[in-house]
Structure 1
Amino acid sequence: MNNIARIIKALMEIHNLTQVDFAVKSDVPLPTVRKYLRSEFNPTKKNIEKIEKHFELELKKILEINFDNLDEIEEVEFFYKKRLEKENAIYQELYQLENLMIDNYNGINSQYEKDNGTNFFEDLLIAGDEVEKLKNTLELLKKLSSDNKNFLKKDNQSLEKPNKKNFDDFKTSDKILIDLLKCLDFDIQVIEKTRKFIIKKEKSTYKMDSMLFENILMLLKKDVSDNFLKYLKILDIEIKDTD
């Protein structure tokens, strides 16, 4: 998974967005979003700027991170925290100056423009936006770092599990899902000698080991759960509208 796929998935979770929602909010075409999520290619500069603008954050350094390197992640986090500290100090200074204007608006505002050559309220707005952007960037970085640690933990755990050699070795929820897939015309077979799974659908055939197959089932269960909850929420809204 490349970094843009990680970023989009994290933003979708943070803001509780579907792929369609993300495409609408970011103004990036839906087919392009889908390709990014499949790590088929890296984003254009134009689309990076769109995501940064609509989610109010910075992506340049995050896109360059090697998430397998903890030191690199911490260095980027340190960089943004120091910037936030600096920008927040500027914002607080301007905010306090704004409070003083209650008693002497014309005098303080005129002196500020004379000293800085800029409009006070424009500077206050820019400083506030910069603080918010850095906070959003750090929130994204924290989410990405957490997701990466969880992924590595699960990956290590999966390496410790023995390959399953037949359907009886799967837990009950996985067996139910396998039966459902079979009902949907997926031909799923296991070669016990090699512990490989063969999956056929229409004219396509896929071959994988049991660990990969189990991980796919885990992701599929999460998708089913998330989508079922989404439809329940939609139904709840419709019921409220008809009362």
Structure 2
Amino acid sequence: MITKKKPEEIERLRKGGRILARILRETKEYAKPGMSTGDLEVYAHGLTLKYGVEPTLLGYHPVFADFPYPACMCISVNDTVQHGVPRDDEILADGDIINLDMSIGYEGMIVDSGITFGLGTITQREEELLKVTREALKEGIKAAKPGNRIGDISHAIETYIRRYGLGIVEDLAGHGVGYKNHEEPMIPNLGKAGTGPAIQVGHVYAIEPITTIGSPDVLYDDEGDGYSIFTADGSKSAHFEHTVVITEKGAEIMTQE
């Protein structure tokens, strides 16, 4: 069931969303070559304590996993598409593409957001990867309005990304959010306009295009950390995500400062 959030709940989502945006920005600014992804995890966890929010990924146990997620943030580097588990032996270097993905709870309401950035100097094609994925998120958000359907969001994202020849990871999708980390509906990053559940005022969605420079196919690290997902061809990937609430005028972004 797709839930509608109450006005007072939406206000808590707004406040939590601003805090999450700040945590992501400050963690990005902290990242330097020579640090480990484990260092970034420790820093981000410290920010949750500083701002008085709950890191809701920490201890979260999705149905596909054998054990709960062991960190407060997913940190996915280069060909790690999503769900990268921070490690002390994963050292960042100039030219890396880094994705930070995090959910937090604020006064009982959960928001979810993600950013991707280049560390130091990256190639022109990698810059395009980041720009196109960021803009595809904007296109999806524009389509998230009353009178449209979930397929309209999917179609808008897919149409934009296809123009630039990037891969679209079909295995991963956006979702509802608010009371839990993941709620209905699922929001694929490709699809047919005019299909799927109706978008209604009060719905809260996490919209998140996920792209690759090469093949859209992915591999799962079942025998490693149990969570990381990699591009099948080793190409670099990107992910941007916002939590939005549907209003009569369209989607309002919650996860920005």
Band of TM-score, shorter chain: under 0.3
Superposition TM-score, scaled by structure 1 size? 0.27
Pick the structure with greater CA Rg.
Answer: 1
Greater per-residue helix proportion: 1
Superposition TM-score, scaled by structure 2 size? 0.26
Greater per-residue strand proportion: 2
